[in-house]
Amino acid sequence: MLADIDTWVLDLDNTLYPAGSALAEQLTHGILSTLAQYYATDLAGARRIQSELVAAHGTSLRGAMVTGTIDPQDFLGFERRIDYSVIAPDPAMVAALAALPGRRYVYTNGSAYHAEQVLERLGLTDRIDGVFDILAGELIPKPYAESLDAFLDRFGVDPVRAAMFDDLEVNLALPHERGMTTVWVSAGTPYELLAERRWRTTDLPGFVRANI
């Protein structure tokens, strides 16, 4: 079981830091104001466009690129204005990741810049062996197979020896099918085994302390 795992795959947002942080608000606002500006509309219009783009193309960024001409770096420009100091250092998370034996990768639908800022604030920069971001995935996000395959390929990950943590259950279905152990970070009991190789926990560091 977890004893055979030598590769740890970690989602970033709402997984390595809690859901409902002030960062989520800033990200949402950044994406919506970028869309509002690009499509010359207001925030309500941007919200509608965002839902359409996500439904049709997986992410707003990919949708805006496929249906328009926006440059990804221009789209992601809002990240440079985000105040990452709202993320507090997390010694419990640092200790948990340090205790994971083997390689540790961040697999995120966000950008590498965003991941680096968050990891720095949490104190995790030195604990992570690599970041696979939305640009590395050629803008195809989780939970699409193209994204997972590109991730596994990039780092030479054997799914059977890997465990993946994510706050979105939808992102874990395909990894589980491929043989990965999955840990859904969500509200519920502190930690429980839902099915073979499928865990859920409210508390990632607590889960690591109890099981590794």
Sites of contact with Mg ion (CB under 5 A) = 11, 13-15, 167
Nearer to Mg ion, 13 or 90 (CB): 13
Nearer to Mg ion, 11 or 90 (CB): 11
DSSP state of 141: P
> What whole-number distance in Å separates Cα of residue 203 and Cα of residue 104?
18
| Smallest distance, Mg ion to C-beta of residue 208, A | 18
| Smallest distance, Mg ion to C-beta of residue 46, A | 22
| Smallest distance, Mg ion to C-beta of residue 211, A | 21
What are the two backbone dihedrals, phi and then psi, of residue 182, each rounded to the nearest 5 degrees?
-120, 145
Nearer to Mg ion, 133 or 167 (CB): 167
- CB-count exposure of residue 155 (10 Å: 0-12, 13-18, 19+): middle
> What whole-number distance in Å separates Cα of residue 74 and Cα of residue 68?
13
| Smallest distance, Mg ion to C-beta of residue 166, A | 6
What are the two backbone dihedrals, phi and then psi, of residue 40, each rounded to the nearest 5 degrees?
50, 60
Nearer to Mg ion, 41 or 186 (CB): 186
Residue 158 is encoded by which pair of tokens? 């054997």
Amino acid at 155: F
